[in-house]
Amino acid sequence: MSAMRNFKIVIQYEGTQYQGWQRQDSTGNTIQGKFEAILAKMTGLDFVQVDGSGRTDAGVHALGQVANFKIDTDMSAVEVMDYINQYLPEDIGVISIKEMPERFHSRLNAKGKTYRYRIWNSKLPCVFERRYVYELPHQLELDAMKAAACYFVGTHDFRAFTSNKKGKKSTVRTIDAVHLERTGNEVVITYSGDGFLYHMVRILTGTLIEVGLGQRAPESMPELFQANAARDLSGALAPAKGLCLVEVRY
């Protein structure tokens, strides 16, 4: 009798067509839902739970999403990965698999994450990368954005940077670094931190864009971290398609 085995997988996906990571009763068109359906088929079970490191929104992409699942199988790790990839659609793929100790959990054991947001900052169309960038024709002032981004680094209450109104859990997070660079017509913002709230990266980005467009001053950032700061004080929610989960650290 074989025992339950815990597998950690690293996943890439183009999120354009999907309703985000999290399984939903109303649709089978989620990343988590796709994996759970394939593993149920592979094992002959009604349901196999797949736990992700976090939920990406509808339309968000991933270069290095991490998930884990426990199954009773005699297949090797590589055979499990090959089976999954055989049945996944072409815009989702498993790029590595590893058997882990029973207690490993992709979300609970995560120590940090890196996200990247891409802005195509030109009046010219971005034909081939259009699914992965936010196309913004108005010129951004990068120095002002960098000055504003400095205020995000450190441990703060990011309550004003989440769309989640429930407010039971802590909204304190630590951002280790925010890096901005312009290459040709593209502005790339990279965020690394211990974890991110619902919509947090997209709202941080929307706020930086408003700074870059001269609509708010970099020096106005600290007031967004005050105890009474509300969501409506921060910037707009940047579109999902510019965002990519780059890596999860353990």
Has 232 been annotated as catalytic?
A: no
Q: What are 115's two structure tokens? A: 């996200």
DSSP string, 20-40: -SS-BTTBS-SHHHHHHHHHH
Rounded to 10 deg, the angle between the 77-87 and 31-43 helix axes is 120
> Exposed, middle or buried by CB within 10 Å (0-12, 13-18, 19+), for 81?
buried
Q: What is the distance between the alpha carbons of residues 240 and 242, in angstroms, rounded to a whole number?
A: 6
Consecutive H or E run containing 145: helix 142-150
Q: What are 231's two structure tokens? A: 């969501």
Of the listed 57, 143, 157, 194, which one is catalytic?
Answer: 57
φ/ψ of residue 79, rounded to 5: -65, -40
Give me the residue label for tokens 């913002």.
Answer: 189
Q: What are 92's two structure tokens? A: 């989702």
DSSP string, 68-101: EEEE---S-HHHHHHHHHHHS-TTEEEEEEEEE-
Q: What is the distance between the alpha carbons of residues 188 and 73, in angstroms, rounded to a whole number?
A: 43
| DSSP label at residue 142 | H
Active-site annotation, residues: 57
